[in-house]
Amino acid sequence: MHAVTWHGKRDVRVDDVPDPKIEQPTDAIIRVTTTNICGSDLHLYEVLGAFMNPGDVLGHEAMGIVEEVGREVTNLAPGDRVVIPFQISCGDCFMCDLKLYTQCETTQVREHGSGAALFGYSKLYGSVPGGQAQYLRVPQAQFTHIKVPDGPPDERFVYLSDVLPTAWQAVEYASIPDGGTVAVLGLGPIGDMASRIALHHGARVIGVDLVPERLARVRDRGAEVVDLSEHEKDLGDVIRDMTDGRGPDSVIDAVGMEAHGSPVPKLAQTLAGLLPDKIGQPLMGKAGVDRLTAFYSAIDVVRRGGTISLSGVYGGEADPLPMLTLFDKQIQLRMGQANVKRWVDDILPLLDDEDVLGVENFATHRIPLSEAPDAYETFQKKQDGAIKYVMTP
């Protein structure tokens, strides 16, 4: 089959790889009909390269049709239409009972101290072949699937794999009070969708980014926006001015570790990415080389006693944090990978023909899988108005 594979820093290719087979009785094989590129894939493209092996199949936002199931997967049958969550979880352990599916104890990658295994997401998350391919082996398939009805186009449902639950959890964890205000830092797919969901819940939304078309998309849906390229120095003051001098009740950080605006860690990340794995991995994992600008902004911007919800991915372990400010402002902090299936029942009713969240027009680019290498490059450079790529294998 054809699959998108990682070969090195900024080197993604489409290769012929063996078709996946059932390996465990809890596996299923799906024929992928739609698969997306995610902002998280860009971390692998560049700064997390030290944790990838050449030839690894990328991708964690796939949906398709069940081809084959292992003998213990009794609740799926060939022909079923399914979206596959980006995390692999058993549905039947201590953590899954708590609906903390990203912490599943059956699939945790203990060797690296990581939570649940993820599709296409490096050694840190189990080196599981990903979904940017014609076929996908789904481990723990008895739970790692979302059945969706036949009829509507794939783009109605495919974002259930990641964007929708991630944005939903970001908004939930932000604990926006009724009639309150949330600032959303970063208006890529996650921040954009989180803004839509918060607006749908009736919140006032202030979106921040520095890419004109991303600001425009969110403004068109009813958010106020602040262009970071004009307010890099005084972002906190500008947002406080918009919120009675206090700052918003909640801030969602939808940027993560590759934030614009902190040059020194950028150099460290680049070095870690170029070093041989033995040196690069500890540097990336332990030395703490995140670009924390967005998180620092969140701490500055949020009102006293307010909540910061981190959905952007961070990877370092030794980054300095302004504990004095965090403590003194009595900031509430919640974070983590989205527990996908935790939110599906809340989201599905919004994916009807009315399409209140605008999922069917969410993608900016629809391409065949064969064009993935160019798409990664364009997406990373934020050229050509690229916000979301949807691919057909």
Tokens of 328: 């003194």
Query: Which of these, 263, 287, 265, 313, lies nearest to 44 by C-alpha position?
Result: 313
Angle at 85 between CA 137 and CA 29, to 5 degrees: 20
Chosen residue from 35, 40, 297, 311 binding Zn ion by CB under 5 A: 40
Q: Is 367 helix (H, G, I), strand (E, B) or coil?
A: strand
Question: Considering the rule CB under 6 A, would residue 209 count as an interface residue with ligand NAD?
Answer: yes
> Cα separation of 138 and 30, whole Å?
7
At how many degrees (to 10) do helices 293-301 and 235-242 cross?
A: 30
Selected binder of ligand NAD within 82, 176, 308, 313 (CB under 6 A): 313
**Is 166 near ligand NAD (CB under 6 A)?**
yes
Q: What is the identity of the amino acid at 267?
A: L
- How far apart are the C-alpha atoms of 199 and 231, rounded to whole Å? 24
Nearer to ligand NAD, 183 or 203 (CB): 183
Distance CA 182, CA 186 (A): 13
Torsion sign over Cα 379, 382, 383, 384: positive
Binding mask 252-281 for ligand NAD (x = CB under 6 A): --xxx--xxx--------------------
Closer of 10 and 260 to ligand NAD (Cβ): 260
Shortest Cβ 103–Zn ion spacing (Å): 8
Distance CA 193, CA 25 (A): 36
Which partner from the list ligand NAD, Zn ion, none does 104 bind, CB cut-off 5 to 8 Å by kind?
Zn ion
Q: Using the rule CB under 5 A, is 104 a contact of Zn ion?
A: yes
Q: What phi, psi does 363 have (nearest 5°)?
A: -65, 140
CB of 284 to Zn ion, least distance (A): 20
Q: Binders of ligand NAD among 332-371, rule CB under 6 A?
A: 337-338
Neighbouring-strand partners of residue 208: 185, 226
CA distance 159 to 275: 35
Report in angstroms how near the CB of residue 246 gets to Zn ion at its nearest. Answer: 33
171 binds, among ligand NAD, Zn ion, none (CB under 5 to 8 A by kind): none
Binding of Zn ion at residue 297 (CB under 5 A)? no
Report the largest interatomic distance among the alpha carbons of the chain, rounded to a whole angstrom.
61
Query: Per rule CB under 6 A, is residue 315 in the interface with ligand NAD?
Result: no
391 binding Zn ion? (CB under 5 A):
no
85 vs 273, beta carbon nearer Zn ion: 85
Which residue of 3, 14, 28, 38 would you call a contact of Zn ion, by CB under 5 A? 38
Decide: is 251 part of the binding site for Zn ion (CB under 5 A): no
Which one of Zn ion, ligand NAD, none is in contact with 90 (Cβ closer than 5 to 8 A by kind)? Zn ion
Beta bridge mates, 2? 16
Among 190, 197, 272, 289, binds ligand NAD (CB under 6 A): 190
Cβ–Cβ under 8 Å, residues 127 and 326: no
Task: Answer yes or no whether residue 386 interacts with ligand NAD by CB under 6 A.
Answer: no
Nearest CA among 143, 60, 137 for reference residue 99 = 143
| Contact set with ligand NAD (CB under 6 A) | 38-40, 42-43, 162, 166, 185-191, 208-211, 214, 228, 254-256, 259-261, 293-294, 297, 311-313, 337-338
The footprint of Zn ion (CB under 5 A) covers: 38, 40, 61, 89-90, 93, 96, 104, 106, 162
